[in-house]
Amino acid sequence: MATSIADGTYAPGAKLSDKAIADDLGVTRTPVREAVQRLARAGLMEVHANRYSMVTDITDERSRITREFAASQGGEIIREAALALSEADLAIACELIGEAIESVESGKGWIEAHVELFEFLTDRALNDLYRLMLSDFWYLVFRDLYLGEPRVNTRESLEELESAMRARSANAGVKAVQRMLRLK
């Protein structure tokens, strides 16, 4: 569901019933209700009890706030990851960066690839409180900042990130992530 919101399948402002979502996803309404509540806490949906749920709108102010928060948190994650990842985890991170680059080039699955990368880095680099706080955060970031397509400089930013991670250069990694999160 988060991916459908992040990639624009469920567009900002769309009013959705639990039944319609369940039918779309081929599941019962119970997991849909749980997901809607989780996504509402993450800021991707609004719940209008006994009526419908609505995908939140993206305003310029919201994009600015998301961008600032993402740059800050993304930078912290990269700083920790560049220094703390084991050699095995560093190799996995670089593979995930490669998959993210491929997804940007193909235009398919790029949100999922980016979320997988940043969730992996979050999981490996930070403490449990950060993991809990950021569990649905990356979908919000890529929805609010990119909605539907990666930015022009995304590939270059990912290549810079991979080089920084391999060199274990926290500052270069932070710079690459901040470049990726700038406005178009």
Q: What is the reported pLDDT for 176?
A: 92
Domain segments of the chain: what residues? Answer: 2-55, 60-180
Q: Which of 1-15, 65-79, 90-104 has the highest mean pLDDT?
A: 90-104
Q: Structure pTM? A: 0.72
How many Cβ atoms sit within 10 Å of the Cβ of residue 34? 10
Percent of the chain whose pLDDT exceeds 90:
34
Residue 183 has pLDDT above 60, yes or no: no
* pLDDT tens, position by position, 153-170: 788 999 999 999 999 999
CA distance 174 to 15: 37
| Measured distance CA(83)–CA(156) in Å, rounded | 22
- Is 2-55 in CATH node 1.10.10.10? yes
Q: What is the pLDDT of residues 141-153, one digit of tens each?
A: 777 766 555 566 7
Q: Which residues of 88-112 are buried (b: 16+ CB within 10 A; e: fewer)?
A: ebbebbbebbebbbebbeeeebbbb
Residues found in the chain: 184
What's the pLDDT score for residue 184? 42
Confidence of residue 14 (pLDDT cuts 50, 70, 90): very high
**Could you confirm whether domain 60-180 is CATH 1.20.120.530?**
yes
Percent over 70 (pLDDT), the chain: 91
Taken in order 32, 34, 36, 42, the sign of the CA dihedral is negative
Which of helix, strand or coil describes residue 19?
helix
- Same fold? 2-55, 60-180: no
